[in-house]
């Protein structure tokens, strides 16, 4: 038995492929996948191994051919049988190329490990090609549901070059604890990129640093039905930069970190420049810390299709190192039914009066409708921030059941929708506390320009 030191979690059996020869050799070299033995041609989906794998069960197991190189292939075994003292296996599909003098590992489960395809993980060697080859092979060979296409990244620091990894529909990538993806440097490079209609991707775990974008999606088609879980992102310009995003989930992710070195400019930037729309996205149980612009930005873009998005049970907090931050969430025009519920906000704005935790600020006559701000907790904020929430121009929505801590002279909401009589802001059952409330609850609740429609 042979257990590769680079894969302690998975047991593989080392099996040199037998080269056809009449002479006995100590370690038989390997033939190509198309071999001629005793005048009989072998099909491209067959290999002749030196012996039968231990614990062999008919129809079970996978062969890993040429491990530790970008030419690695993983094949499901259909059949195995003895032949001339060797072991002849039939594979579920053809080998992509000839494999002369190749190593072969036998595995019980079809787990695609990036180090099998040559990834080093030392933080210096460029691992982009090796990881891309793993993803490509998993999608090609892995059949059935997502777990059969699972690409595993063991602990280590994996350098990704500036163009990044091209993610295609159906990819599943899992980074184990201690696995880190590194870009060229802050402000340069992309770790992941996707283009046009791309769907059903699942990325879980890992840290992502030193880049311009952790993930960038371009084109008219949407990035849709994808899941991002337990990601930790820091030291980048934007974590996610998405032209069109539909039905995606971010769960238990961390955007930004402690101090200047962990800062990000923006967490998730929905640019709304793709015709696919920005709809039905959910951000839940995530933590945003130390950003320099906005944690979440839903831009006006060129698409008027932005609806049914939500942010729930998230934590938004900045420290004194983020002196330019303008708040946590900014919503722009053509946004409908955006839900902000059960979140926590603390020191999200900078030392400027116009900064606010949440802002609905459509440009011109572009509308924002049915924004629901419900059940949130607004903790401490910088002294010069005058309002925790801002509603401007043609925007309408509801503020309800929020708990708000106000400094002296601070108000919960600023409302300036006077030019659009159809825009109505409703406030109900909000709990105000702190020096700014004592004896003056009505004034502390909101400030509205003359003509703005407010209902309590």
- CA distances from residue 311 to 155, 177, 226, 373 in whole angstroms, order as listed: 31, 26, 16, 10
Confidence of residue 25 (pLDDT cuts 50, 70, 90): very low
Specify whether the CB–CB gap between 278 and 242 falls below 8 A.
yes
Cα gap 15→135, rounded to integer Å: 24
- CA distances from residue 193 to 42, 58, 212, 296, 321 in whole angstroms, order as listed: 41, 41, 12, 19, 30
Give the CATH number of domain 13-109: 2.40.30
Domain 124-455: which CATH number of 3.30.56.10, 2.160.20.10, 3.30.1370.100, 2.60.40.420: 2.160.20.10
- What is the pLDDT, as a whole number, of residue 146? 55
| Angle at alpha carbon of residue 34, lines to 23 and 88, rounded to 5° | 65
- What is the pLDDT, as a whole number, of residue 35? 28
- What is the pLDDT, as a whole number, of residue 167? 97
Per domain, the residue ranges of the chain are 13-109, 124-455
Both structure tokens of 373: 């701000």
pLDDT tens digits, 380-390: 988 888 999 99
- Mean pLDDT, the chain, rounded, equals 84
pLDDT tens digits, 189-204: 999 999 999 999 999 9
| Backbone φ, ψ for residue 128 (5° rounding) | -60, -50
pLDDT tens digits, 241-268: 999 999 999 999 999 987 777 889 999 9
- Residue 301: name the closest of 276, 264, 266, 337 by CA: 276
**Same fold yes or no, 13-109 and 124-455:** no
% of the chain surpassing 90 pLDDT: 54
* pTM confidence score: 0.87
Residue 38 has pLDDT above 60, yes or no: no
């Amino acid at each position: 038995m042979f257990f590769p030191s680079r894969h302690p979690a998975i047991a593989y059996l080392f099996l040199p492929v037998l080269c056809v020869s009449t002479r006995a050799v100590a370690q038989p070299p390997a033939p190509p996948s198309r071999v001629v033995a005793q005048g009989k041609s072998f099909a491209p989906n067959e290999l002749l191994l030196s012996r039968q794998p231990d614990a062999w069960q008919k129809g079970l197991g996978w062969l890993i051919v040429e491990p530790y190189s970008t030419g690695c292939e993983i094949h499901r075994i259909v059949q195995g049988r003895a032949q001339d003292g060797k072991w002849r296996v039939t594979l579920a599909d053809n080998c992509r190329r000839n494999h002369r003098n190749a190593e072969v590992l036998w595995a019980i489960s079809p787990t695609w490990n990036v180090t099998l395809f040559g990834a080093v993980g030392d933080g210096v060697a460029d691992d982009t090609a090796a990881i891309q080859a793993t993803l490509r092979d998993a999608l090609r060979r892995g059949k059935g549901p997502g777990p059969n296409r699972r690409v595993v990244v063991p602990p280590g620091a994996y350098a990704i070059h500036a163009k990044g990894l091209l993610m295609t529909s159906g990819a599943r990538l899992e980074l184990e604890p201690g696995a880190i993806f590194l870009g060229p440097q802050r402000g340069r490079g992309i770790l992941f990129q996707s283009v046009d209609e791309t769907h059903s991707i699942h990325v879980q775990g890992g840290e992502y640093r030193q880049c311009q974008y952790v993930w960038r999606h371009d084109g008219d088609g949407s990035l849709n039905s994808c899941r991002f879980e337990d990601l930790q992102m820091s030291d980048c310009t934007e974590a996610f930069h998405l032209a069109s995003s539909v039905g995606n989930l971010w769960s238990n992710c961390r955007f930004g970190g402690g101090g200047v070195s962990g800062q990000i400019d923006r967490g998730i930037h929905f640019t709304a420049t793709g015709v696919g729309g920005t709809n039905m996205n959910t951000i839940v149980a995530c933590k945003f810390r130390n950003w320099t612009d906005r944690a979440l930005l839903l831009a006006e873009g060129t698409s008027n299709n932005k609806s049914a998005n939500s942010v729930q049970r998230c934590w938004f907090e900045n420290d004194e190192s983020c002196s330019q931050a303008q708040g946590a969430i900014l919503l722009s025009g053509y946004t409908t039914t955006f839900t902000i519920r059960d979140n926590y906000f603390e020191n999200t704005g900078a030392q400027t009066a116009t900064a606010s935790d949440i802002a609905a600020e459509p440009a011109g006559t572009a509308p924002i409708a049915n924004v629901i701000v419900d059940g949130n907790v607004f903790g401490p904020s910088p002294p010069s921030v005058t309002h925790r929430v801002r509603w401007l121009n043609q925007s309408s929505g509801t503020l309800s059941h929020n708990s708000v801590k106000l400094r002296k002279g601070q108000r919960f909401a600023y409302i300036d929708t006077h030019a659009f009589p159809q825009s109505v802001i409703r406030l109900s059952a909000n709990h105000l506390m702190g020096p700014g409330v004592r004896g003056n609850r009505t004034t502390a609740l909101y400030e509205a320009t003359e003509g703005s429609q407010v209902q309590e």
